[in-house]
Amino acid sequence: FALDSNSVGNVKSFLTKNKPFPIRGERANFINIPHVVVMVGLPARGKTYMAKKLTRYLNWIGVKTRVFNVGEYRRRSTSLYTNHNFFRPDNAEAMCLRELCAMNALKDVCNWLNSGEGDVAVFDATNTTVERRRWIFNIVVRKLGFKLFYVESICNDQKIIESNIREVKLSSPDYVGVNPDEAIKDFIQRIEHYKDIYHPLDEEKEEHLSFMKIINTGEKVVVHKHEGHVQARIIYYLMNIRVMRRDIYLTSAGESQNDVLGKVGGNSSLSERGLDYAKALADYMKSQDIPRLRVWTSWMNRTVETAQFIERQKERWKCLDELDLVSYRFTRGESYEDLVARLEPVIMELERQENVLIIAHQAVLRCLLGYYLDVSSEKLPYIKVPPHTVLKLVPIAYGCEVEYIPLNVPAVDTYQERPSKYKSQTVEEPPAGVLDKESSSVESNHFQNGDTNANEETDK
Ligand code: ATP
């Protein structure tokens, strides 16, 4: 849109209107009130990273969540960005545009929650001033009656900031065709403009707000006046995530004797081909020479036996056991939802660990993959987990990449297709060849969730 004195006036009047949103919330006494989570912090402090990860986690545990990124609104509405001067606090025209973008994003947040479609909206912007946060509080809490929780990221380690800029900011549309060194300089100057007006969440001035501060990537965490179950889950999750380069390996147990007989469930030992896979797996893991690798199995014979040749300490987890098929009935048995609930401690521990190999079962691995690949709960049961294949999960900027490494030991494939009437919605499959159990190809295959390229600066 065009920016002139008129639109500046419009923004101001919109901001000062008494009732900028049509629907007034009457939710004061409800328990399950929609939440707005508001990110706070200077650029390149991991706000978008945390916003996206938190969203993935909440959706995985069944809380419908969506991110609203103000930077995206800015990029959709203007191509005005030429350099850091755009972010100067005295650049009135750009300031006005940025406020308008923040307003539009917040309006979308409120409309989405009011529509009943979502439980938690994450408002991803820098939100660095007390005034901005007061404005959000007035709309979200006073006018609409939603719950509000601020998450501030503070990081003063220049090395981390520079590595964040290199990892995610250089590929931003703002820097297409710009020399990387110039782009880094420009981004650092952009941060300086924000520093001029930045006021961290203030326990005295803003003592009525619920918030958490994550300092130096989780070295220290401060929690202030949090309320209720959803905020407790958010705090617990964000306290556990670590920022480090590591890989997670997943595989199902080798072929079992029951697989060969076509029997579902039970606790049988490995078949001969299953044992061959256990040996191939040990050779593969050895060849990767992974530092401090942890090996986790379920308590079932076939996973413990699959791990037996790996020369590392192994740990057994009861909650990695296969979905309880014996008692599995639609009314009383264990469902994928139950499985997600029982796997939550595994996810939490995985977030804290370095390199881990998990040897488990189809349904369990589907749930874990669902978390990493952001797969909706209806599609979870149909994710393909190829037999005798190692899945390597590699975290990338805002998502996760999966590499499928078949170890070329034949096996019975116990995968069950989704009923044909749902087929059009079948989850993205790994590339052709990965599922071919007799495949002689030793090449690995990739697919990924999330953006490798980060183009998601959160702006104001
Ligand atoms: P902007 O305001 O420009 O959008 P941002 O704060 O949203 O910046 P991100 O784009 O999320 O920053 O930065 C991602 C990088 O931040 C990743 O490299 C990630 O490893 C790193 N990161 C994640 N969490 C934190 C944290 N708590 N503190 C600092 N860096 C972090």
ipTM: 0.97
CA–CA distance, 104 with 19 (Å, rounded to integer): 15
What's the pLDDT at 23?
43
Q: What number is the average pLDDT over the span 182-194?
A: 94
Q: Whose CA is nearest to atom 9 of ligand 1?
A: 46
Which of 37, 39, 42, 45 has the most ligand 1 atoms within 8 A of CB, as the residue to mutate? 45
Q: Whose CA is nearest to atom 26 of ligand 1?
A: 217
Q: pLDDT tens across 296-330, in order?
A: 999 999 999 999 999 999 999 999 998 775 644 44
What's the pLDDT at 29?
55
Ligand 1 atom showing the smallest separation from residue 52 Cα = 11
Average pLDDT of the chain to the nearest whole number = 84
Q: What percent of the chain clears pLDDT 70, i.e. is strictly above it?
A: 80
The β-bridge relationship of strands 445-449 and 399-406 is antiparallel
- SS3 assignment for 120-168: EEEEECCCCCHHHHHHHHHHHHHHCCCEEEEEEEECCCHHHHHHHHHHH
Ligand 1 atom showing the smallest separation from residue 456 Cα = 4
Q: What number is the average pLDDT over the span 210-229?
A: 95
DSSP for 38-62, please give it: EEE-STTSSHHHHHHHHHHHHHHTT
Whether pTM exceeds 0.90:
no
Write down the H helix ranges in 165-296.
180-197, 228-240, 257-261, 272-288
Residues in the chain: 460
442 vs 157, 162, 432, CA distance in Å? Answer: 42, 38, 13
Specify whether the CB–CB gap between 247 and 258 falls below 8 A: no
Q: pLDDT tens across 86-143, in order?
A: 999 899 888 888 889 999 999 999 999 989 899 999 999 999 999 999 999 999 999 8
Q: How confident is the model at residue 243 (pLDDT cuts 50, 70, 90)?
A: confident
The β-bridge relationship of strands 314-316 and 220-224 is unpaired
Ligand 1 atom showing the smallest separation from residue 167 Cα = 18
Ligand 1 atom showing the smallest separation from residue 454 Cα = 10
What's the pLDDT at 380?
86
What's the pLDDT at 327?
47
Q: Whose CA is nearest to atom 16 of ligand 1?
A: 46
CA–CA distance, 408 with 329 (Å, rounded to integer): 35
What's the pLDDT at 317?
96
Of 38-42, 161-165, 202-206, 434-438, the one with minimum mean pLDDT is 434-438
Which of 37, 42, 49 has the most ligand 1 atoms within 8 A of CB, as the residue to mutate? 49
The dihedral sign for the CA sequence 225, 228, 231, 237: positive
Closest CA to 33 of 145, 149, 121: 145
Q: pLDDT tens across 146-160, in order?
A: 999 999 999 999 999
Tokens of 33: 């009130």
CA of 430 to the centre of ligand 1 (A): 29
CA of 123 to the centre of ligand 1 (A): 15
CA of 49 to the centre of ligand 1 (A): 5
Q: Whose CA is nearest to atom 19 of ligand 1?
A: 46
Residue 356 has pLDDT above 80, yes or no: yes
Residue 458 has pLDDT above 70, yes or no: no
CA of 164 to the centre of ligand 1 (A): 6
Q: Whose CA is nearest to atom 4 of ligand 1?
A: 457
Q: pLDDT tens across 380-414, in order?
A: 888 889 999 999 998 787 888 899 999 999 998 77
CA of 371 to the centre of ligand 1 (A): 20
Q: Whose CA is nearest to atom 22 of ligand 1?
A: 46
Q: pLDDT tens across 34-93, in order?
A: 999 999 999 999 999 999 999 999 999 999 999 999 999 988 887 666 789 899 989 988
What's the pLDDT at 437?
32
Kindly compute the dihedral angle of the four CA atoms of residues 179, 180, 186, 187, in this order, to the nearest 10 degrees. Answer: 150
Q: Whose CA is nearest to atom 20 of ligand 1?
A: 243
CA–CA distance, 392 with 32 (Å, rounded to integer): 38
CA of 79 to the centre of ligand 1 (A): 23
CA of 234 to the centre of ligand 1 (A): 17
Q: Whose CA is nearest to atom 18 of ligand 1?
A: 164
Q: Whose CA is nearest to atom 29 of ligand 1?
A: 45
What's the pLDDT at 377?
83
CA of 44 to the centre of ligand 1 (A): 5
What's the pLDDT at 194?
94
CA of 66 to the centre of ligand 1 (A): 18
CA of 165 to the centre of ligand 1 (A): 8
Residues with CB under 6 A from ligand 1: 41, 43-50, 71, 126, 153, 155, 160, 164, 167-168, 214, 217, 243, 454, 456-458
Q: What number is the average pLDDT over the span 16-27?
A: 47
Q: Whose CA is nearest to atom 25 of ligand 1?
A: 46
Q: Whose CA is nearest to atom 31 of ligand 1?
A: 46
Query: Which position has the higher pLDDT, 144 or 54?
Result: 54
Q: What number is the average pLDDT over the span 346-360?
A: 95
Residue 15 has pLDDT above 80, yes or no: no
What's the pLDDT at 150?
98
CA–CA distance, 448 with 460 (Å, rounded to integer): 29
Which of 157, 168, 398 has the most ligand 1 atoms within 8 A of CB, as the residue to mutate? 168
CA of 442 to the centre of ligand 1 (A): 36
CA–CA distance, 73 with 70 (Å, rounded to integer): 5
Of 8-22, 152-166, 253-267, 282-296, the one with minimum mean pLDDT is 8-22
